[in-house]
Amino acid sequence: MEKLTVKTKKRNELIDITKPVKKVIESLGVENGICVLFCPHTTASLTINEAFDPSVMGDIIFSLDKISPDYPEFRHMEGNSDSHVKSSLLGCSLNLIIKDGKIMLGQWQGIFFAEFDGPRTREVFVQVVKA
Amino acid sequence: MEKLTVKTKKRNELIDITKPVKKVIESLGVENGICVLFCPHTTASLTINEAFDPSVMGDIIFSLDKISPDYPEFRHMEGNSDSHVKSSLLGCSLNLIIKDGKIMLGQWQGIFFAEFDGPRTREVFVQVVKA
Amino acid sequence: MEKLTVKTKKRNELIDITKPVKKVIESLGVENGICVLFCPHTTASLTINEAFDPSVMGDIIFSLDKISPDYPEFRHMEGNSDSHVKSSLLGCSLNLIIKDGKIMLGQWQGIFFAEFDGPRTREVFVQVVKA
């Protein structure tokens, strides 16, 4: 298992980690298989979406704030229940397919670390299994 | 790795792909293992839900339109930011378990391609790993 | 493939299944690999979130009820379309990484069975693949 470190700068932020993820996976020399990316945090997620136009990331963050606002009824005392909800909505693991030594992403897809309670220093776990 | 092609007909649509997915996986002759389905698009998803009553699919699409409306504040110029949000909410990969050569779905479950910016011709990638 | 049984007591409930999941996986004696947890139900999910303060689980359930209410426009006659929507939002499968015979969860993470149409007796499927 490999680890990546991600430093986030804002409370809510999508950070493109496609390049470091590709570098780690391709260094393992697996020709065909699958990869699991795992986020070991409860106020963050991993997601795949458009990596070309940064306004897409901004629009996703905007919409997630509408979907999961900070309700006055929340009982958790840390003021980040909205972040926990977002974490479960987007999920903390991702699957990638490896073919001919490369990650099979679509033309516009990038892999994003989704921070919902930053800024923090975060980790991503990477495990690869051969087909 | 195998590929399926899905032709969608509406902007928002859930298409049952259980049969072609089963056919591809079962043709690979793996007795026990796991399967990753991957959608290489940023305005579509893969999801598992009830395949018996089609009104469930309609209700899911109705509710997703309420959850992720087309906000006037969106900055992405293509008019499909709501589709990108839906794609991250439902996710672009799925895991299936293979046991005795068959996919272990529940009684009411079907596998759906979720189109959020159709009509388009889409692909689904399939990778199987033996246990 | 292994199976766990979960008995739920409420309509909406997050039940911590971390201990039984760990027990099953660690009994299989796999040193390094990945695990797929699969929920074979269409009105329930699996999710990973904070297992320390139970108020987080309550806040997640509260927020999901706001995100997916019971709309009068729903056509499915069983009165649980909101549950089907929640199931697709949180998803029915999870990935875990196994390293040195242990599941690699973060410090605050627990694995939860998310019931959205209980009380019922539910199952979770567990499949492990070696790295």
Q: Token digits for B78?
A: 């293509």
Q: Token digits for B112?
A: 């759906």
> Could you tell me if C48 and C109 are in contact, meaning their C-beta atoms sit under 8 angstroms apart?
yes
Of the candidates B98, B116, B99, B97, the residue with the CA atom closest to the CA atom of residue B45: B116
Which of A67, A74, A88 has the CB atom closest to C47's CB atom?
A88
pLDDT at C34: 97
Distance in angstroms (rounded) separating the CA atoms of residues A78 and C28:
38
A94 contact residues in C (CB cutoff 8 A) = 95
pLDDT at C108: 97
Which of A38, A85, A129 has the CB atom closest to C60's CB atom?
A85
User: Model confidence over A75-121: pLDDT tens digits?
Assistant: 999 999 999 999 999 999 999 999 999 999 999 999 999 999 999 99
A45 interfaces chain C, CB cutoff of 8 Å: no
Distance from CA of A74 to the nearest CA of C (A): 6
ipTM: 0.97
Cβ-defined contact of C127 to B34 (cutoff 8 Å): yes
Q: Token digits for B98?
A: 């293979």
Cβ-defined contact of C90 to A91 (cutoff 8 Å): yes
**Alpha-carbon distances, residue A109 vs A96, A117, A129, C118 (angstroms):** 12, 24, 22, 37
Continuous segment of H or E residues that includes residue A23: helix A18-27
Mutation choice for A interface testing from C32, C34, C105 by most A CBs within 10 A: C34
pLDDT averaged over every residue in chain B = 97
Mean pLDDT of C15-38: 96
3-state SS class at B16 = strand
Mean pLDDT of C25-36: 95
User: Model confidence over C45-80: pLDDT tens digits?
Assistant: 999 999 999 999 999 999 999 999 999 999 999 999
- CATH number for region B2-68+80-130: 2.60.120.460
A18 interfaces chain B, CB cutoff of 8 Å: no
- Is the backbone of residue C80 left (phi > 0), alpha (psi -120 to 50) or beta? alpha
Distance in angstroms (rounded) separating the CA atoms of residues A109 and A20:
15
Q: Token digits for B50?
A: 């009830």
- At a CB cut-off of 8 Å and minimum separation 6, what does A23 contact? none
Residue B28 pLDDT class (50, 70, 90 cuts): very high
Q: Return the bridge partners of A46, or none.
A: A113
Q: Return the bridge partners of C121, or none.
A: C7
pLDDT at C125: 98
A32 contact residues in C (CB cutoff 8 A) = none
pLDDT averaged over every residue in chain C = 97
- What percent of chain C clears pLDDT 90, i.e. is strictly above it? 99
Distance from CA of B62 to the nearest CA of C (A): 8
Q: Token digits for A64?
A: 């997630």
The amino acid at C15: I
List, in sequence order, the alpha helices (H) in chain B.
18-27, 54-67, 81-90
C73 contact residues in B (CB cutoff 8 A) = 62
B88 contact residues in A (CB cutoff 8 A) = 47-49, 60, 90
Distance from CA of B51 to the nearest CA of A (A): 22
Distance in angstroms (rounded) separating the CA atoms of residues B117 and A56:
14
pLDDT at A34: 97
3-state SS class at A3 = strand
A103 interfaces chain C, CB cutoff of 8 Å: no
Nearest chain A alpha carbon to C104? A40
Cβ-defined contact of B41 to A106 (cutoff 8 Å): yes
Residue B50 pLDDT class (50, 70, 90 cuts): very high
- What percent of chain A clears pLDDT 90, i.e. is strictly above it? 99
Mean pLDDT of A33-39: 98
Put simply, the chain B residues between 50 and 89 with a CB less than 8 A from any chain A CB are 67-68, 71, 73-77, 81-82, 84-85, 87-89
Distance from CA of B127 to the nearest CA of A (A): 7
Domain map of chain B by residue range?
2-68+80-130
A25 interfaces chain B, CB cutoff of 8 Å: no
Pairs across B and C, CB distance < 8 A? 103
pTM beyond 0.95, yes or no:
yes
Cβ-defined contact of A50 to B84 (cutoff 8 Å): yes
Match 């699919």 to its residue by tokens: B57
Distance from CA of A16 to the nearest CA of C (A): 21
pLDDT averaged over every residue in chain A = 97
CA C50 to chain centre: 13
A97 interfaces chain B, CB cutoff of 8 Å: yes
Residue C99 pLDDT class (50, 70, 90 cuts): very high
Of the candidates A72, A69, A13, A83, the residue with the CA atom closest to the CA atom of residue A41: A83
